[in-house]
A and B are shown apart, each in its own frame.
Chain A
Amino acid sequence: MALELQNVSRSVEGRVHIHPTTLTLQKGTMNVLLGPTLSGKTSLMRLMAGLDAPTTGRILWDGTDVTGMRVQDRKVAMVYQQFINYPGMTVYDNIASPLRIMGRDAASIDKAVRETAEMMRLTPMLQRRPLELSGGQQQRCALARALVKGAGLVLLDEPLANLDYKLREELRIEIPRIFEASGAIFVYATTEPEEALLLGGSTAALHEGRVTQFGPTPQVYRQPADMTTARVFSDPPMNFLPCVKTFAKLALGEVTTPASGAFASLPDGTYTAGFRANHLSLHQQSPDAVPFSCMLGVTEITGSETFLHLYHGADKWVGLVHGVQNLADGAEVTVWLDPAHVYLFDASGRLAAAAAYAQSDLKGAA
């Protein structure tokens, strides 16, 4: 079982919502669609579900063309950001409703409902109505209804966005577990990089209706194909600075460092260097690290860590450092960066060389 999108695109009234996209989602995989609001996550999901017809291209399900097939005839389930349940029915009846529509017999419905409820930890609430439940439980009920019919494709459109932070944390742990038990293809849309990382599986980064990269989640995170993907997959946003390579030297802004590793083999020229907030530090933590002097805008303290909002010339950077740092706003600070944490992007924004740490890290994981 696999879902294939072949050159699928969609335009509405001359405006492109989805650029031609080719994707193959394998059976039993978790696929995250990561991108900001209006990047096309929901549009892409609607195409996968068959709620919208593609303008061009074909959609194959298990090798069969399902492009024009009605939603009702496909085995698809969808969960939305809003908690959508039948308010007048009990949780039990809510979960049973898709099976009743399918005309299953009472005994098998009862069995399926109880199994799904157990998995979703809803068993004690089966006789209650959705509006008497907390937000997290309501969303569990909606998830249970989506899962109970054994759909081959389960689409989750920002299902946790309306939940409290802590409830989100709990369900985030559970969703991979539920997914593993179901064996279906999961597609999960989110705006948050952290959520994508926690869910694992594969990630498709989306930007303005285009899939910029699709691959295993840690790989997309550590080896983003271009600046757009790197920006989408960084929270706080990735920091950038101009960079020039000449012979064996790399000029990162005002600092020069030897071009080692993957950087050594790059052609000379201008690049953009990118690095993540957590790789800046206030102390020299490795012998290769280079200092930058910045102006401190604002600091934000989370209790265990401190976010530094920095101005490096005209560039705005964010640094995330350990511990509580009480620094005066507007102060001059020196921050350190190890070149092993730097990505280089070429003039067109493509990744020229991934950070050295990311390559060794991937090997370590594999």
Chain B
Amino acid sequence: MIKTQNNKAWFLVLPVLVVVAFSAVLPLMTVVNYAMNDTFGNNQFFWVGLEWFEEMVTSSRLHAALGRQVMFSAIILAIEVPLGIYIALNMPKSGFWASFCLVLMSLPLLIPFNVVGTIWQIFGRVDIGLLGHTAAALGFDYNYTNDPFDAWVTVIVMDVWHWTSLVALLAYAGLQSIPQAYYQAAKIDQASRWAVFRYIELPKMQGVLLIAILLRFMDSFMIYTEPFVVTGGGPGNSTTFLSIDLVKMAIGQFDLGPAAAFSLMYFLVILLVSWVFFTVMTNLDRQESK
């Protein structure tokens, strides 16, 4: 789409720029400041250059947290994307049940993060939780406060429960935009169910799926509240993801310099990944409109 040039439009953007400057850019600069200095209190700062960054890059603690983080994001993407698509494919296309499913699917998305954490924290408890108690009664040795594997399972199941709907809803929107004629043509061509998915549904969902993956990746990469409420990062450090580690470092230990350097690198990683996604998506768009 070609748009008319109009420089006055900048005035409309100005208020947003001001707000963003105060809410994002200025705090970010404070973080940059912390990352380059050391302090012993009293508002006295010493220039240390990139020292904190060096320390963080070589820190085995950070490596471990990053490893857990990547693993977590990879697992939930591997579960939520196919599951979301599967649910979308099986949702009714119209009528009462379609609306019913849509409402049902939106419910988890409406619950605040800390409430989700609390729900699962209680749900999984062996003493009073429905899930924990049932598992124990059935003879499973399930306890997310002691067993790292159980803790992981709990955190992942929680995330899948919370966010698969988002992927499903986006995929559903993509599916709804496919004209009926495509399905009819496929029937006439005797295409298998798999071929219909592979050559009609998947290509048409491509755009929304990329957005879904991007959103889910960024969200899961920054996840904090839910695992913190459920496991507090434990047992040990087994579910200490990047943001939990960061908060421990900054607030728990008050190591502001390393934490600031850490958060900047964290920010850059997310920026980089988003940029990669953005480039891929715009290229796809261009291909389509060619």
- A-side interface residues toward B, CB under 8 Å? 12, 50-53, 70-71
Can you list 10 residue pairs at the A/B interface with Cβ under 8 Å?
Answer: A12-B2, A50-B4, A51-B4, A52-B2, A52-B4, A53-B4, A53-B5, A70-B4, A70-B6, A71-B4
- What chain B residues lie within 8 Å of A52 (beta carbons)? 2, 4
- What chain B residues lie within 8 Å of A50 (beta carbons)? 4
Min C-beta distance of A46 to chain B, whole Å: 8
B8 nearest in chain A by CB position: A70
- What chain A residues lie within 8 Å of B6 (beta carbons)? 70
Q: What 1/0 mask marks residues of chain B from 78 to 117 whose CB sits below 8 Å from any chain A CB?
A: 0000000000000000000000000000000000000000
Apart from A52-B2, A52-B4, list 8 A-B contacts with CB within 8 A: A12-B2, A50-B4, A51-B4, A53-B4, A53-B5, A70-B4, A70-B6, A71-B4
Min C-beta distance of A176 to chain B, whole Å: 32
Min C-beta distance of B287 to chain A, whole Å: 16
A12 nearest in chain B by CB position: B2
Q: Please report which residues of chain B, range 1-15, place their CB below 8 angstroms from some CB of chain A when the two chains form the complex.
A: 2, 4-6
- B-side interface residues toward A, CB under 8 Å? 2, 4-6
B5 nearest in chain A by CB position: A53
- What chain A residues lie within 8 Å of B2 (beta carbons)? 12, 52
- What chain B residues lie within 8 Å of A12 (beta carbons)? 2
* Interface residue SS majority, chain A: loop
- What chain A residues lie within 8 Å of B4 (beta carbons)? 50-53, 70-71
Min C-beta distance of B5 to chain A, whole Å: 7
User: What 8 pairs between A and B have smallest CB-CB spacing?
Assistant: A52-B2, A53-B4, A12-B2, A53-B5, A51-B4, A52-B4, A70-B6, A70-B4
Min C-beta distance of A268 to chain B, whole Å: 49
- What chain B residues lie within 8 Å of A71 (beta carbons)? 4
- CA of A51 to CA of B4 in the docked complex: distance in angstroms? 7
A51 nearest in chain B by CB position: B4
- What chain B residues lie within 8 Å of A51 (beta carbons)? 4
A13 nearest in chain B by CB position: B2
- CA of A51 to CA of B5 in the docked complex: distance in angstroms? 10
- CA of A12 to CA of B5 in the docked complex: distance in angstroms? 13
A46 nearest in chain B by CB position: B2
- CA of A51 to CA of B2 in the docked complex: distance in angstroms? 9
Min C-beta distance of A52 to chain B, whole Å: 6
Interface-central residue, B2, B5, B6, by most chain A CB under 10 Å? B2
A50 nearest in chain B by CB position: B4
B6 nearest in chain A by CB position: A70
- CA of A71 to CA of B2 in the docked complex: distance in angstroms? 14
Min C-beta distance of B113 to chain A, whole Å: 37
- CA of A71 to CA of B4 in the docked complex: distance in angstroms? 10
A71 nearest in chain B by CB position: B4
- CA of A242 to CA of B122 in the docked complex: distance in angstroms? 90
- What chain B residues lie within 8 Å of A70 (beta carbons)? 4, 6
- CA of A53 to CA of B6 in the docked complex: distance in angstroms? 11
A10 nearest in chain B by CB position: B2
- CA of A70 to CA of B5 in the docked complex: distance in angstroms? 10
Min C-beta distance of B228 to chain A, whole Å: 46
Min C-beta distance of B135 to chain A, whole Å: 53
- What chain A residues lie within 8 Å of B5 (beta carbons)? 53
Min C-beta distance of B278 to chain A, whole Å: 20
- CA of A71 to CA of B5 in the docked complex: distance in angstroms? 12
- CA of A71 to CA of B3 in the docked complex: distance in angstroms? 12
Min C-beta distance of A286 to chain B, whole Å: 51
Min C-beta distance of B208 to chain A, whole Å: 24
- CA of A70 to CA of B4 in the docked complex: distance in angstroms? 9
Min C-beta distance of A8 to chain B, whole Å: 15
Min C-beta distance of A54 to chain B, whole Å: 11
Min C-beta distance of B222 to chain A, whole Å: 38
Min C-beta distance of B7 to chain A, whole Å: 11
Min C-beta distance of B4 to chain A, whole Å: 6
- CA of A19 to CA of B6 in the docked complex: distance in angstroms? 24
Min C-beta distance of B196 to chain A, whole Å: 29
